[in-house]
């Protein structure tokens, strides 16, 4: 029962992350959109590593590419790299205090932006505007709330069952 509710929650949060990628934001701010999908994925990689691996990252990345009419495989690649890094340093990340974890998440998201700008550069796209680099900062600020929020939701689900 616990496992079931947890996996339901994982699917729901990841789907919410997918939808958030294409929700309209005020123009100008849309470049700085925090990468919630990556944050959710990061959370589930830390909490349920046996269920969330590179395959999950790949599938959700591919879905996000399909929905956002970007280059097919771009987000899949970025999220697979992110999931790999998280699972590689999972033991350390899990026992970090929250603020230190947020810093690590910032580094992960920054790395993700670097990969993204490299990919864009490879297909001869123009560079990213400076607003795009705000996205990792916003992601870092969102991380503690997101982490505590999902933890509380899971706890409540466990108590109920």
Contacting residues toward other proteins, per CB under 8 A? 18-19, 22-25, 27, 30-31, 33, 53-55, 57-58, 61-62, 65-74, 76-77, 80-81, 84, 87-88, 91, 119-120, 123, 125-126, 128, 132
Nearer to other proteins, 45 or 102 (CB): 45
In the complex, least distance from residue 90 CB atom to other proteins, rounded to whole angstroms: 9
In the complex, least distance from residue 108 CB atom to other proteins, rounded to whole angstroms: 15
Count Cβ neighbours within 10 Å for each residue of 124-137 and write b for 16 or more, e otherwise.
eeeeeeeebeebbe
Cα 17 from Cα 135, distance rounded (Å): 15
Cα 17 from Cα 35, distance rounded (Å): 8
In the complex, least distance from residue 154 CB atom to other proteins, rounded to whole angstroms: 24
Nearer to other proteins, 124 or 161 (CB): 124
Alpha-carbon distances, residue 33 vs 2, 135, 140 (angstroms): 33, 6, 12
């Amino acid at each position: 029962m616990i496992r079931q509710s947890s996996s339901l929650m994982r699917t729901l949060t990841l789907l919410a992350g997918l939808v958030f990628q294409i929700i309209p934001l005020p123009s100008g701010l849309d470049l700085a959109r925090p990468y919630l999908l990556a944050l959710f994925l990061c959370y589930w990689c830390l909490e349920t590593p046996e269920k969330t691996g590179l395959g999950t990252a790949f599938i959700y990345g591919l879905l996000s590419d399909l929905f956002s009419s970007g280059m097919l495989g771009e987000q899949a690649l970025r999220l697979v790299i992110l999931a790999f890094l998280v699972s590689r340093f999972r033991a350390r990340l899990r026992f970090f205090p929250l603020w230190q974890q947020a810093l690590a998440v910032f580094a992960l998201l920054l790395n993700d932006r670097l990969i993204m700008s490299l990919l864009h550069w490879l297909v001869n796209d123009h560079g990213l505007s400076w607003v795009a680099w705000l996205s990792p900062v916003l992601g870092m600020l969102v991380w503690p709330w997101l982490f505590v929020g999902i933890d509380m939701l899971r706890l409540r689900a466990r108590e109920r069952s």
